[in-house]
Amino acid sequence: MSAGNDDFMVFSGTANLPLAEKVATYLGRPLNKIDIKHFPDGETFCQVIDGVRGKDVFVIQSGSPAPNEAYMELFIIIDALKRGSAARITAVLPYYGYARQDRKDQPRVPITARLIANLLEAAGADRVMTLDLHANQIQGFFDIPLDHLKAEPIILKYIRDQHWSNPIIVAPDTGGAKTAYGYSRKLGCGLAIVAKQRTGGDTVDAFSVVGDVKDHDVIMIDDMTATGGTLSAAAKMCRDSGAKTVHAFVSHFPLTEKGMERLMGEAQLDELVVTDTIPLRAGFDPLKLPFKLTQLSVAPLIAEAIKRTHVDESINDLFNHE
């Protein structure tokens, strides 16, 4: 939708207002006004204060914390914008909640990631923008355009700025091997993989490291951690194999109570680096962790993607630089 720069508007739900405000700052404009209320019986109401007729509209809402409430709020906002005659509505989901429910791996289970896609379209979204999907096939669940952003440029810059003497990229499981290989190629360092076996929803038994991590600065790359099981098991295996330091990087941090306990007591990390696609869990104090927690912001990336979408410029160019 090529138009003047003043013809787009940015609204936010309540799931991650601090990130939305950062995005607005990078765009050089305040968030547009919307009144969102939650009634005592649990119902959600919203009224879009600023006129949207004929406008290119972006709505920022993460699918966590409280994904059910976050999505319902987003659907209601989209419906209000549609009824206000917005020309185009882009749902910006820094974190796509329910992304782990992307396949029918047991009898009589839903594919909730697909259901969310259907509901976004039914609510009236014309386009979706999200970041580091847990499963790439989710892009195929949509019949409307989807822009899949990556936190990779932000994470790569941070890693390069550390100047670790002997780095090696480690995939904490075989599913992340392709992503880990991309990082190792761009950083010009080695690659190792931790083979794991998950024995329960929040229990992981790591059993081998494929590759030599002895005396290396381990850089583990994963898309998310909720219970901390995969990261804790992989970090222990790397330590047992002689790693000098262990640094874990995750795009999304939907931390559970169990994950908070595990990170406090079990994770043999030197540093955990997360982004701000999801607010830090309420009651979680990073200063109490036995390792360093660093939070990087994806706001500049989302802001640039919004600008490029509005003027019909390529978003892929943001990720083509080594």
Question: Which residues are identified as catalytic?
Answer: 196
The answer for residues whose C-beta is within 8 angstroms of residue 18's C-beta and 6 or more apart is: 276, 279
β partners of residue 272: 248, 293
User: Can you read off the two tokens belonging to residue 179?
Assistant: 């992503």
How far is it, in rounded angstroms, from Cα 64 to Cα 109? 22
Q: Residue 322: name the closest of 166, 179, 182 by CA.
A: 182
How far is it, in rounded angstroms, from Cα 154 to Cα 89? 27
317: left (phi over 0), alpha (psi -120 to 50) or beta: alpha
N- to C-terminal Cα distance for the chain? Answer: 29
Going by their DSSP bridges, the two strands 217-224 and 167-171 should be labelled as parallel
Q: Residue 254: name the closest of 269, 285, 275, 270 by CA.
A: 275
What is the three-class DSSP state of 147?
A: strand
How far is it, in rounded angstroms, from Cα 156 to Cα 178? 16
How far is it, in rounded angstroms, from Cα 247 to Cα 21? 29
